[in-house]
Amino acid sequence: MRPDAPTLQRMQDRDDAERAKQVEQALTHYPIGDRVGVEHIPMGLIHGTYRVESATGMYIVQRLHPDLSSDSNLRDYQAVTAHLADQSFPAPRLILTGEGNPSADVRGDRYRLTTFLKGESYDCVKNTRMVKEAALMLGSFHTAMADFRYEFQAGRPLHDSPKHLEFLQSALRQFRNHPMMGEVGPLAEKVSTDLPRHFLPTPWASRVVHGDPKISNVLFDPATGRAVGLIDLDSCARHTVLVDIGDAVRSWCREGPEDQATPFLADRFRAFCEGYRQSDAPLSGAERPLIAPSCRLITLELASRFLRDALEDRYFGWDAARFASRPAHNLARAKGCLFLYESMAGQREEMEKVVGEVWG
């Protein structure tokens, strides 16, 4: 039985108080002077994020998800942010502890401190101009990372669609008696049938990708509407840029949050293509026809991940104010992805026409 609202609030208050103590303890490891205030930022599905004001300026401290807190993950993040700093690209910069470490360890959790970037983050796209600006920023990121020679050390299956499908099928076997299987099962069958049809042909041109370019990871100047920064660089790796393009289109070319059934918007897709084209990020003649298929691929892949976590109940964050549990929220997200996928499929010809008109 789910606790009632007052009990949930008391549980949340106790958890928040304990987390606040841990954040304060983590910050003692950093040479940032006296702290003026620490504010929790309720954003993202993975890390716990806090804005820190101190005598030396503004910072962001994050309690890292265990799956993204290994030494190799931290080394990758440090290398990426250092390179972007050299390129004068607007992204966070890692700040080392007073002992020279990339994170502070507190009671089994790892906390990472970075510089603070000015700008507003939005959960949903408001208009086509916002899409175009974000696409220009994403393309500029791909260009800035073009000469990055570092060899990534973390071995996470970033957009390894066949592997994610295997993970889903393993979860289906392991949790075959799960109380949500009646709803998860038919959706998983749809994903298992359609996802292999969209696997990208290999080999592809391997470049550095962001790995999670949802709209909330792009910062905007609210006064001008310009995109002014790119955050959440934990998933950077080498892959085809088509996975970033597909993920961005999935996130940006719809109305409303991803846990609702909202259709694909072709006018926003055109704005994306125009913004990315404006960035002068290279796309070969072989890659351009795969833009539209990659959007369907990544949408289905994410549906598979949400369905898996609806059973495993361990990875994605969830909104306790709107859903009874993490599995319930993940099920809603999966349904939203599948609705969007069908909407994309119904507009396939229009998407291909847009790509042809923008790139010629």
How confident is the model over 113-170, as pLDDT tens digits? 999 999 999 989 999 999 999 999 999 999 999 999 999 998 776 899 999 999 999 9
Asked whether residue 5 carries a pLDDT value surpassing 50, the answer given is no
Token pair, residue 247, equals: 């993920």
SS3 per residue for the chain: CCCCHHHHHHHHHHHHHHHHHHHHHHHCCCCCCCEEEEEEECCCCCCEEEEEEECCEEEEEEECCHHHCCHHHHHHHHHHHHHHHHCCCCCCCEECCCCCCCCEEECCEEEEEEECCCCECCCCCCCHHHHHHHHHHHHHHHHHCCCCCCCCCCCCCCCCHHHHHHHHHHHHHHCCCCCCHHHHHHHHHHHHHHHHHHCCCCCCCCEEECCCCCHHHEEECCCCCCEEEECCCCCCEEECHHHHHHHHHHHHCECCCCCCCCCECHHHHHHHHHHHHHCCCCCCCCCHHHHHHHHHHHHHHHHHHHHHHHHHCCCCCCCCCCCCCHHHHHHHHHHHHHHHHHHHHHCHHHHHHHHHHHHC
**Whether the domain at 12-115 and the domain at 128-359 fall into the same CATH topology:** no
User: Residue 225: what pLDDT?
Assistant: 97
pTM beyond 0.75, yes or no? yes
User: Residue 36: what pLDDT?
Assistant: 82
Q: What is the mean pLDDT of residues 229-252?
A: 96
User: Residue 157: what pLDDT?
Assistant: 63
Asked whether residue 16 carries a pLDDT value surpassing 90, the answer given is no
Q: Give the CATH fold of the 12-115 domain.
A: Phosphorylase Kinase; domain 1 (3.30.200)
| Residue where the block lists tokens 């007073």 | 98
Q: For the chain, what are the domain ranges?
A: 12-115, 128-359
User: Residue 47: what pLDDT?
Assistant: 79
Asked whether residue 245 carries a pLDDT value surpassing 50, the answer given is yes
User: Residue 12: what pLDDT?
Assistant: 42
User: Residue 2: what pLDDT?
Assistant: 40
Token pair, residue 277, equals: 């084209």
Which of 1.10.260.40, 2.60.40.10, 3.90.1200.10, 1.10.240.10 would CATH assign to domain 128-359?
Answer: 3.90.1200.10
| Residue where the block lists tokens 């990208």 | 200
Asked whether residue 13 carries a pLDDT value surpassing 80, the answer given is no
- Between 19 and 180, where is the model more confident? 180
Q: 43-47, 51-55, 83-87, 165-169: lowest mean pLDDT where?
A: 43-47
First to last CA, the chain: 58
Confidence of residue 343 (pLDDT cuts 50, 70, 90): very high
Asked whether residue 271 carries a pLDDT value surpassing 90, the answer given is yes
Query: Crossing angle of helices 161-174/291-312, nearest 10°?
Result: 30
